[in-house]
């Protein structure tokens, strides 16, 4: 299933990119927030002696409260994202509005207090604000509008008052601030494009990797299905003759190496041709499926297996099983088929479907032959047929 993680063109915000940028913003906030706190303290010292201490205290308390709220949001974000995936839009908006709040308070200081500062204090104040605005570039650059608003809130009041001043040096500060605003806008545009494109191409690579994994999984599933089709008899759900030939050779080799006893059963549906003639081939197919289910149902060990040997004949291989165990399995099969009670129009006293079973056991060795062993099992089945059917013979 394809999942659209990315926008069609580089440079646009997508939910995936927004989530990554939000995560990055909160991760670096302890550093940027600490820098902001330091700047607030420095600005407070600057304006404390040159304006009303009460006004400076109120301004400092307001901006520190806003900064504290942002730190609380940071810890809340880290706690929520530790255990679950979240919608990044709320947390991103909270972060941006927190930045606007602190920028607005800094701009307020520039608007109200800047004209009252001495020339040297104006220079230091301007440099502090410029440093804060520059430091916010990496965490706000994913949204050009947000960063533009942040810049204007912080620097526009300083530039306005500086240009309106009569002193040439202060006017020069205002001009430099406007130039710096333009440089920040350009840097933001370039940084934004580079950042988002790198994230987009990164996620495109991850998306391609995910799609490749999905394709590999589908191919693996198709191969497994092909393997199943090539080894399973479509009608009865047992293994087919091809699988039996391959697997029986492996089991035979294992028993030669282990010097252990191997048993096999040949199971044939009695008078199946007449059953087909009486009930039709569709009912005959149903009969074979039911018989196969009952034969499979007696298997208890993972190495035992059943295959359709041909027509209405099945073969069961019982590794590490002696003749007594094979006889017990045969008795179970007779019992389960009897309980099916499938009616049959036959020329003897039995009016239901039955099976005949031939079996044999062997401890494979260098002088033994697997084909001869199977012929023994088949001969035992032939003997069971001759003894009236619905019975088992072991040789």
Q: Print the SS3 string covering 14-49.
A: CHHHHHHHHHHHHHHHHHHHHHHHHHHHHHHHHHHC
This model's pTM is above 0.85 = no
Whether the pLDDT of residue 200 is over 70: the answer is: no
CA distance 20 to 194: 15
Q: Which two tokens stand for residue 394?
A: 């072991």
The rounded percent of the chain whose pLDDT value lies above 90 is 36
Residue with the two structure tokens 């001043």: 165
Whether the pLDDT of residue 251 is over 70: the answer is: yes
Q: What is the pLDDT of residues 304-352, one digit of tens each?
A: 999 999 889 999 999 999 999 999 999 999 999 999 999 998 877 788 9
Model confidence at 13, pLDDT cuts 50, 70, 90, reads low
Strand 355-362's sheet: what is its strand order?
Answer: 305-310, 313-319, 262-269, 355-362, 392-394
Q: What is the pLDDT of residues 122-146, one digit of tens each?
A: 788 888 888 878 777 777 766 677 7
Residue with the two structure tokens 């009303």: 52
Read off the pLDDT of each residue in 84-109 and give the average, rounded to a whole number: 83
């Amino acid at each position: 299933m394809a999942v659209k993680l990315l926008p069609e063109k580089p440079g646009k915000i997508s939910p995936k990119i927004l989530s990554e940028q939000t995560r990055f913003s909160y991760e670096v906030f302890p550093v940027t927030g600490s820098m902001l706190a330091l700047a607030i303290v420095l600005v407070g010292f600057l304006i404390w002696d040159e304006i009303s201490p009460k006004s400076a205290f109120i301004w400092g308390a307001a901006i520190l409260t806003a900064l504290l709220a942002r730190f609380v949001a940071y810890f809340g974000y880290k706690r929520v994202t530790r255990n679950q995936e979240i919608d990044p839009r709320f947390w991103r908006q909270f972060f941006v509005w927190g930045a606007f709040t602190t920028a607005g308070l800094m701009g307020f200081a520039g608007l109200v207090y800047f004209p009252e500062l001495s020339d040297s204090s104006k220079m230091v104040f301007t440099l502090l604000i410029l440093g804060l605005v520059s430091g916010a570039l990496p965490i706000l650059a994913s949204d050009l509008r947000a960063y533009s608003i942040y810049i204007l809130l912080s620097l526009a009041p300083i530039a306005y008052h500086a240009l309106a001043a009569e002193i040439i040096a202060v006017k020069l500060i205002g001009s430099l601030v406007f130039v710096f605003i333009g440089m920040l806008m350009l840097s933001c545009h370039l940084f934004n494009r580079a950042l988002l494109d790198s994230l987009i191409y990164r996620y495109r690579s991850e998306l391609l990797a995910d799609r490749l994994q999905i394709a590999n999984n589908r191919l693996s599933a198709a191969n497994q299905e092909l393997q199943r089709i090539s080894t399973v008899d479509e009608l009865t759900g047992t293994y087919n003759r091809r699988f039996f030939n391959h697997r029986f050779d492996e089991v035979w080799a294992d028993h030669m190496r282990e010097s252990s006893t191997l048993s096999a059963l040949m199971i044939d549906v009695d008078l199946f041709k007449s059953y087909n003639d009486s009930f039709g081939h569709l009912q005959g197919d149903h009969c074979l499926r039911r018989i196969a289910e009952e034969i499979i149902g007696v298997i208890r060990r993972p190495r035992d297996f059943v295959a359709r040997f041909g027509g209405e004949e099945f073969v069961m291989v019982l590794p590490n099983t002696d003749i007594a165990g094979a006889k017990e399995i045969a008795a179970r099969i007779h019992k389960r088929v009897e309980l099916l009670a499938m009616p049959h129009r036959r020329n003897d006293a039995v009016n239901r479907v039955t099976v005949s079973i031939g079996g044999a056991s062997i401890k494979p060795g260098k002088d033994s032959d697997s084909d001869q062993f199977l012929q023994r099992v088949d001969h035992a089945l032939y003997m069971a047929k001759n003894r009236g059917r619905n019975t088992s013979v072991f040789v």
